[in-house]
Amino acid sequence: MPDPFVIRPRAASAPSPGVPAVGHAPLDIDPVFGPLAEYCRDDDVTDIFVNGAAGLFVDRGHGAEPVPAWSASEREVRDLAVALVGLGGRHLDDQAPCVDVRLQTGIRVHAVLAPISTSGTSLSIRVPRVRAADLDALADLGAFDARQHSWLLTLVAERANILITGGTGTGKTTLLSALLSAAPASERIVTIEDVAELRPRHPHHVALEARQSNLEGAGGISLARLVRESLRMRPDRLVVGECRGEEVRELLTALNTGHDGGAGTLHASGLNDVPARLEALGALAGMDATALARQVVSAFTVVLHLERSPGGQRRITQAGEFAVVGDRLGIAEVRPW
């Protein structure tokens, strides 16, 4: 694709002081990225946002910053979005105007076409900066202290079922990959995701990814179906990368039928918001609040909540345990470290 964009040249930035380059081999950026490639290669950039022809923004750990020199037409941005989604083997068009895809480099691309995105075609690009990290690497980055580190290793060794919660960009997937990397090599790990992002350092990892329907509306494979299929694969650890719908029912069923050492992630702004989020997902799966509460309490051993500081550091800030409170799901903060 020809390069129709105009962006002022920018000197390469030095790595942030005091931050080790963990698992940080240079990304092999496809030429399709065009002028966005320089931001994908910038060690400080974690997110790139294209808001139609109106603007380009990058996040270097301090929030989204505009790139004043960005210049592109709506057609050019749409062509770029279609090409990037195509790199990941999916299609983006008027019949499928919202698509999420992971590229071979680990870069995640989310695209929404106009007029669904009223300001023009929208691109949200997540660039992995800690790739194939283990718990030691995350400890070096300040994600948790030595006592928390020891406790996390104990959770993995004891095959605890773990739910990791936090807002967008808090490091849920990175922490989950690190925990799975600490599992014994003799165990079989099956991960299920809408877009496959989990890449644990483990010799026996099977990754299942949901599939969108084709242009005729057929051939789609949902997360809920993949959870059911995974139970026939004899997993030692069953992981759902992000619970966001009816698949929560299958995950809870699996974790309550002897599949210890499982895990999942969930979007939540705080530990106290987790029960309500799970009740909402349970409702999508046809579960009433009482049934959900009993299933969750027996399924998950612990909840780990992550937050991202204004300076960009991602840390475990809270841990909790579920309880049934008056036939409803509740949660209590614990300090096990």
- Which pLDDT tens digit goes with each residue over 205-236? 999 988 877 767 778 888 888 888 998 899 99
pLDDT of residue 17: 33
DSSP 233: G
Measure Cα distances from 266 to 73, 286, 297 in Å. 36, 19, 16
Query: How many residues does the structure list for the chain?
Result: 337
- Taking only the tens place, the pLDDT of each residue in 100-155 is 988 888 899 999 999 999 989 999 999 986 555 789 999 998 899 999 999 999 99
DSSP 34: G
Beta strand extents in 34-148 (DSSP E only): 47-51, 55-59, 64-66, 98-102, 108-112, 122-126
Q: Does the pLDDT value for residue 194 go beyond 90?
A: no
Q: What is the pTM of this model?
A: 0.75
What would the two tokens of residue 157 be? 């060794």
What lies within 8 Å, CB to CB, of 257 at 6+ separation is none
User: DSSP states of 156-204 as a string?
Assistant: HHTT--EEEEESTTSSHHHHHHHHHHTS-TTS-EEEEESS-----S-SS
* 241-277 b/e (C-beta count within 10 Å ≥ 16 → b): bbbbebbbbbbbebbeeebebbbbbbbbeebeebbeb
Q: At 168, which amino acid appears?
A: T
DSSP 15: P
pLDDT of residue 169: 83
What would the two tokens of residue 337 be? 């470290």
Band (pLDDT 50/70/90 cuts) for residue 336 is confident
132-136, 196-200, 261-265, 297-301: least confidently modelled range: 132-136
pLDDT of residue 295: 94
Greatest C-alpha distance within the chain: 62
Instruction: Report phi then psi at 231, rounded to 5.
Output: -65, -20
d(CA 158, CA 155): 5
pLDDT of residue 215: 67
